Chain A
Amino acid sequence: MNTKADAVRAGLSRGLIEIKASLSNPAELLSGYLLMPAIFITIVFLLGDGEGEAGATAGSFVMVGGITMLLVMLGTATVTQVLGSEREDGTLLRARCVPDGMVGYAVAKTAHLAGMAALCLALMIVPGLLLVDGFALRGAVEVFTLLWVCALSLLALAPIGAITGALMSNPRIAVSVSMMPGIALVLSSGVMIPLEIMPDWVQAAVKVFPVYWSGVGLQSALMPAEYAAAELGGAWQLTRAAGVLALWAVAGFAVAQRVLRRAARHTSGSRVQEAREKAMKRGY
């Protein structure tokens, strides 16, 4: 009998239980799921005086910026926070105490992140489609593009969050450490602020990082056809986006795997106890 199959199934059910728990907690529901869509749809309506095509482009540009931001937050801040705090409170160690526990844990975290991302993205995208002019999925190709860009973006970003969460001893500081570069990239990669107004070196530099390419993919899926044709340069750009994101994902997973193994090996009862005492002394 395959022993790993039980662990995978147990992991999937853990992911589901955790998503349910986060949805039944009002504070988490609000800050984790509803806040971002509310903010970005509000911004669109505050900016929304532009009539016709320009207005449609501006509105959908902001929404796409919001989705990119959401992906970055999920991949970095959320992953760091979950991993850091579960390392500190002993959840990770508990997983080590049972056979194949780490397999189950990894499956659970993946399922948790995927499920949470699907919900968050739906909460952002569906109201956007209904309320924001120009923000639309024109056909099956765009739906497909949206799905793979989101999936690949998370795969590229999550290892970064995981590495930070595994390396930093204070999960609360780790969250800001992993969020800061993400926000800097969101601001400089032409997803919130047009890229043209950035200095040339910034325009060149951001193309090395995943956030720019997530933006390119999402814009081509969700913005008006004219904008996509004029600004993004068609299928070639999408291929490059897929390539860069995949490269980050592969490299990230290779590093994350080693770092996580090390973190798991180094967790023990007395270390969890130490971390707890430190946290109590710090008061946060």
Chain B
Amino acid sequence: MSYHYRSWGLNPQIKQIACVLNGATEQDLAGPHKAQKLLAYGCGSSYGDVCLNDEGVLLDSHRLDHFLNFNPDTGVLRCQSGVTLRAINQQLIKYGWFLPVTPGTQNVTLGGAIANDVHGKNHHLAGSFGCHVLKLGLYRSQEGSIECQPDKNAELFRATISGLGLTGFIQWAEIQLKKISSPYLRTEKMVFTGLQEFDALSNDADKAYEYTVAWIDSVAAAKYRGRGVLFCGEHADSSADRRPSKKRILSIPFNAPTGLLSYPVIKTFNLAYYNMHRLTSSKALTYYEPFFYPLDSLGHWNRLYGKKGLYQYQCVIPAEGGVEVVEELLAICAHYRQGSFLSVLKKFGSIKSPGMLSFPRPGYTLALDFRNLGESTLKLFSALDKVVFANQGALYPAKDARMSREGFRQSFIETERFKNYIDPLFSSNFMRRVII
């Protein structure tokens, strides 16, 4: 097995030097790379450059995959930062506990989930991942290991949640899991023909369902613009238990030719996807993996975008008048004739994360994938940026490889305060590009 230290977008492609950690003690962390700039690297599932550090060394945490303690009565789990969300699900569902918040892939380490303060389909009820972190152990180059929690080293705790790995190395963390009675979900999908309809459906579904997220046909002709499918789900009760179906169907072995996901292909796919859902039944009992992690069943799907990789553009637009803004964004994509293979829309709730650089905030979040076509894709993003920032929106660092310093500052008002907590020995390409 070889280690390729890339981000999920395969872009930027910069040579990385890494050191695989065999332990999470102070000696392990202070050891061989004392004078270099450090950055934790987990699964490399962030899209851009928050997980890259070409002026220093990546601390690969994949071997720090030990559970430290679990209380099956309270659901409090403590583990090392390299434990993946997949491992947490696999091991703890049997005790009837589940992740309180989960992103769209389980190939994420606990450390990465905290550092990017990830969110999921239940944001309207549960907030972001950081809302469920009880404690964390942080290695700082000057002070050594420090325990942080909401009422102890509180500011450092706030800076580390959503801190993009810059406040030090997260050695372990304690999180509160959520009690469930079955690994199955009762799911429902609802087709909508426009964003106004989405908004009405989503507002109702958020009251009825724990999990909601919508897929949007981003390349539909103007009169169909904003059509899509709203997916809803809630944990089933124990009577729903069945044997899970076998997962992991296939994996993309190498980069596809660059033209594979061209505009006509994406258009056809979106049309087919929309109609498939329009014509199939709407209520079902679904195992947690296909519901939460549909793309995980296609390993290395990022390779479909060819060797230049992809960009993801994820923004959040304040709720007030947000629907019109999202419509405008979709119109811009259509104008530039750049299609997004999978476009996702979700209405965030109002639960505030403790994280200083936390991305989720009340409003609509739209995530779009684009093939990296170089200059023309970047031009599209500038056009989108204008609309996003004119409407007090924000961009998501975990998905970003190109936002501007001004854009970052506009997105995160606590940037100046956050800077005080950056560890002098830690850095990332994202930090050099955008934060400092």
**Do chains A and B interact in one complex?**
no
Residues on B lying within 8 angstroms of A by beta carbon are none
